[in-house]
Structure 1
Amino acid sequence: MLCGMGTLYYGDNLDILRRYLGDATVDLVYLDPPFNSAQDYNAFFHEKDGSAAASQIKAFEDTWHWDTEAMRVYQSVTEQPGKVSDVMQAFYTFLGGNDMMAYLTMMAPRLVELRRVLKPTGSLYLHCDPTASHYLKLLLDAVFGGQNFRNEIIWKRSSSHGDIKQGMRRCGRIHDVLLFYTKGDSYPWNPVFTPYDKEYVESIYRFQDEKGRRYAEDNLTAARPGGEVSYEWRVKRRKNSDERWIADLEEEHLHPRKGWEYLGVRPYKGRYWAYSKQNMIKMWKAGQIIHRRTGFPRFKRLLDEQPGVPLQDIWTDVNPLAGSEKERLGYPTQKPLALLERIIAASSNAGDLVLDPFCGCGTTVDAAQRLGRKWIGIDITQLAISLIKNRLYDTYSKRLKIETIGEPASPADAAILASQDKFQFQWWALGLVSARPVEQKKGADHGIDGKILFRDDPRSARPEQIVIQVKGGKTGVKDVRDLRGVLDREKAAMGVLISLHEPTGPMETEAASAGFYTHKVNGRQYPRLQLRTVKELMEGRSIERPSTVAALDDTFKKAPPADAQPTEQNELEF
């Protein structure tokens, strides 16, 4: 049975870190905090005909502004003596009260908390762009200590930006920055190797053996002696042939065979053999020595036996996600899975705990799950939590166990969320039926809060719609009539009204009068207008609709299934 290894938290990551995560509990932190990228965090919208979804969700803008709240946090940070306070005051002197200062002010207490939850052997990678990287590096030096800075990694995130015709008067900006820090001197590092460049292979590994394997010739001599390394190396071959010399291990030269020639070879003047005669014999028997026309031995370094180039701090081999790739889920700032897999593989071990406090579309937790790590993801929107769960279920099946903290656990909790934030409540309720939100702006909803798309006839050019309305307040028969009007206007197959309160008799009568939707292939009928309470949905009574067995679900763009399922891990402990 597939078991989950992680927990999703809904809420402000600063509050979550302080309330739920104990000291020294996390092995690896990756964070990609948003700043002024002119991007909004969007849902995984997808249309089968390739067109962009007509309406997308703005979960939150990724720009922080200098305001009263930012000043309050700044004062709280600078009241505590130490290097963090010193660097923040220096920032304010230099920057004043602008958006960058607000961003650094919001990041400072979060980085302090992230260091607290890291184990003494823990590592942190902060992903940013050159707009803020120089400021963030100073802030990280203050939090972690400059001696614990390990790398500034450059990731080439796009091929080129050719905006000269639009008046660009600078080099194209095509890279992101990853700042790698550790909590101390002892931390996991699993060597990662990258493939050799094609030019390097063709110039160095330019020989091929009889099996077609590429190899390079390498030196077998050394500048300094180490033991008995001035011996004569004996070789032999047939006379008047183009055959390579072979080692004369049997010392056949003492009793020469007819038609053979023999040769003794010593190191060049002033040099010594790099290996003892016994080791040279072992290498010959292992096929690791070849001889030149002069009879001089050379080490045969096979390309396919080399690990590659040790990972450097410029990464050009992890490509950004193209719009056509299966991995692409429609999230503008989505990072490639390969990028997170590299970080997690290098700086953690199986069973370690990985934390992403800005988990967005869930790439970090997906990579951690694939690599057999436990994980924690935190996000400030119910929308992101629902999207991440959809991604993980599509990838690993719904047998995956995911603990979610911060979401309503009862109808009473749902009522509290509805009173606090109408839109977070809507996004959470839509997640109960795996519907996608449809409106981008917080305003008039035109009678639709979410949609489910399905195809009961695979030959259909466009999917059918189930439109969803979510009501956190009192409801009446007028709401049902309005939803019926939306069904007719949108030519939708079905509609569902989700509410906190039990529907009245007249509401149920009005819903029943809408009739039925008939499945295009098997003829099964479903109530065209359905009423569901939050309590019913939380207890497992879902909506009546064509199942994924009898219809294709087009609601979200699907994450590709994992090639291999991870092994079971222990539960998280805090």
Structure 2
Amino acid sequence: MHFNTPLALDLALAPNHLYYGDCLEVMTHWPDASVDTIYGDPPFNSKATYSILWGNDAGKQKAQLDAFTDMWTWGAEAEERLRHLTSEGHPARDTIRALLIKPGRSGMLAYVTYMAERLVEMKRLLKPTGAIYLHCDGTASHYLKYAMDDIFGPANYRNEIAWHRTGGSAKGNQHKPRKFGASKDYILFYAMPKHQFNGVYVPDPDAAQRYPKGDEKGRRFALTPLWRSAGMGPRPSLCYEWRGYTNPHPSGWRVTMENLEQLYQQGRVYFSEKGTPYRIRYMDEDKGILLDDMWTDISPLTGKNKERLGYPTQKPLALLERILTASSNAGELVLDPFCGCGTTLEAGLKLGRQVIGIDVSVFALELINTVRFAGKYPALPIKGIPTDFDSAERLAQTNPFQFEKWAVWQTGMMPNVRQTSDSGIDGQGILGMSPEEDYTALTLAQVKGGKQRSYVADVERFCYTLIERNAACGVFITLRPIGKRSRVYATAGRLGTITIGNATYPRLQFWSIQEFYAHGTRPKLPPLVDPYKDRTAQTLLDL
């Protein structure tokens, strides 16, 4: 496969690091059997209609693909993946060949081939004791399970966990719904043969009834048989005499003589009036009930939840804590190859694990360190992100959209998640105080990462947008400084200034990435509201 990530980039495996880039490329730099647990919430838009996934006309779907970067369409890259995955000896070959018959070349097959390539790498990275959890929705979960059976082996399948995330509304017209509401996600759980599953236990609501007795200290307990019942059949190896007691049936004891004597020394054996021995079990030592595969007790994040960062597809911290508790131990390495805003990473650090997160969004990785970890954990070093002007320029050349988001993030504004129909706006923010002039508190950003030296037309259009939206101010960001003789400065000057308190700011200013690395300069902006903590800002910015 061809990757756009700049060459000579350090992508070596390093625990407690973040990685910018396609997880497929990043993972290829790592050694076999190096990861203990993987949780992946791969890119997928559960709100997408079937027509997008089942269609094969890439031209008609270009707008959806640009607007929703987690959607896949059939095209040249999918064809290349298909040739690779159907080659002789590939672990996913049988699955992909079957899906090539039905559903055939479509958005769904494009999505499954995208995932299959990455799942093969994840399988290679897992230790013999490792486990993987793949989060998906009902639209593609059955196809992904088919692929995972092929890649990880059907014998290593453990559960298809259903997470009841919310009450779903049925789709239909205003008079009659066409189907039941969709209210759950699926988490496919596979484990390698030597995996030690810790399990998760929940309180038993009937515990008081199951432990009806109490000792002199008030501890509730129950008595369970030490003799196997006659119906269990003969067990010669457990037929023995202990302290003058023998099971009258050939079924024998429930434990070995050594363990029985140990229970006796611990005061855990009780004799009835008839002399029948029983084992004493205390309620406060009961783990509870092993959780099943239907999870209904963890609520999704709503707009009012303090945990919410405003990041799309963000999952609750409790969900990841449960998964990592069940299938990892302190000190082990947890990988999230689609880490987003870092819920898995926070859960891992909270539980004492080492963590690694990969994401194709520079903005998401910055968000983890500056927002999610703020005041909780030290920032994690980021590999693959611009650290000097040369690497920033390579990012602008190889992935312009990610360069735009990274550049906007440096100003403190919120990057635009849309790639098309954005009116030239690449970022926006809300001022902490409204200007004295009759403008809104909105501030806008536009990024140009190309080599052109004249931006007169672009700046004029940006000025028009500022006026049209009555924005307080804006920043026009370029890779290199705009020449001092350019007419753009006169154009910006006609917009005037804004006043906030005792400070005056230009309504439009220019800032270049080259100046940022050469002199550490940033735009001179009034204080901005943090959109990840301020609910009003989230509403205004449509988060």
- SS state at 1:95 partner: coil
> Superposition pairs for residues 22-37 of structure 1, below 5 Å?
22-35=31-44, 37=46
State the shift of 1:116 in Å.
Answer: 1.8
Q: Distance in 2 between matches of 1:121 and 1:269?
A: 42
Count matched residues.
Answer: 484
Residue 352 (structure 1) aligns with: 332
Equivalent residue for 2:267, pick from 283, 302, 327:
283
Conserved? CA contact 1:394–1:558, under 8 Å: no
Q: 1:116 to 1:544 in 2, by over 3 A?
A: same
Q: Does 1:107 align with 2:107?
A: no
Q: Secondary structure at the match of 1:497?
A: strand
In our comparison, the structure showing a higher alpha carbon Rg is 1
The secondary structure found in structure 2 opposite 1:394 is: coil
Cα distance in structure 2, aligned partners of 1:197 and 1:161: 32
Match of 2:379 in 1: 400
Quote the offset at 1:430 in angstroms: 0.6
Q: Distance in 1 between matches of 2:267 and 2:375?
A: 47
Cα distance in 1 between the residues matched to 2:417 and 2:161: 38
8 Å CA contact retained: 2:481, 2:514? no
**1:467 and 1:206, CA in 2 relative to 1: closer, same or farther beyond 3 A?**
farther
Match of 1:257 in 2: none
Whether 2:433 is the aligned partner of 1:451: answer no
State the SS of the aligned residue for 2:348: helix
Post-superposition CA distance 1:141-180 (Å, at most 9, x none): 2212223223333332334556698645665543332222
Is 1:182 aligned to residue 212 of structure 2?
no
Question: Match of 1:222, SS?
Answer: coil
- C-alpha change, 1:324 and 1:470, in structure 2 (3 Å) is same
Distance 2:183 2:91 in 1: 33
Separation (CA, whole Å) in 2 of partners of 1:82 and 1:325:
44
User: Which secondary structure state, in structure 2, belongs to the residue aligned with residue 112 of structure 1?
Assistant: helix
Question: Helix, strand or coil for the counterpart of 2:92?
Answer: helix
Shift of 1:191: 1.9
Residue 12 (structure 1) aligns with:
22
> Do 2:170 and 2:178's aligned partners in 1 also have CA atoms closer than 8 Å?
no
Alignment of 1:321-340 (within 5 A): 321-340=301-320
- From 105, 116, 123, give the equivalent of 2:124: 116
1:75 aligns with 2:83: yes
Determine if the alignment matches structure 1 residue 373 to structure 2 residue 349. no
TM, length-normalised to structure 2 = 0.74
Structure 2 CA distance for aligned equivalents of residues 436 and 312 of structure 1: 40
Query: When the two structures are superposed, what TM-score results if normalisation uses the length of structure 1?
Result: 0.70
Q: How big is the shift at 1:429?
A: 0.7
Q: Find the counterpart in structure 2 of residue 217 from structure 1.
A: 222
SS of residue matched to 2:356: strand
| SS at 2:418 equivalent | coil
Q: 1:195 aligns with which of 199, 202, 215?
A: 202
TM superposition shift of 1:519: 4.2
Aligned to 1:536: 515
Separation (CA, whole Å) in 2 of partners of 1:360 and 1:474: 35
AA of the residue aligned to 1:531? F
Contact 2:40 2:336 in 1 (8 A): yes
Q: What is the CA-CA distance between 1:419 and the residue it aligns to?
A: 4.1
Counterpart secondary structure, 1:466: strand
Cα distance per residue 1:378-403 (max 9 Å; x no partner)? 22334434444444343636x42322
Q: Output one character per residue of 1:443-470: Cα deviation in whole Å (capped at 9) or x when no partner.
A: 352x53212324259xxxx993332222
Structure number with greater CO (CA < 8 Å, separation at least 6) is 1
Give the letter for the 1:24 counterpart: A
Q: Which deviates more from structure 2 when the two are superposed, residues 477-486 or residues 413-422? A: 477-486
Rate the CA distance shift 1:209–1:145 in 2: closer, same or farther, 3 A. Answer: same
1:134 aligned to 117, 133, 142, which one? Answer: 142
Match of 2:47 in 1: 38
Partner of 2:478: 499
User: Any residues of structure 2 matched to 1:263-302 within 5 Å, and which?
Assistant: 283=267, 301-302=281-282
Of 151, 154, 162, the residue aligned with 1:143 is 151
1:66 aligns with 2:81: no
Equivalent residues of 1:111, 1:140 under 8 A apart? yes
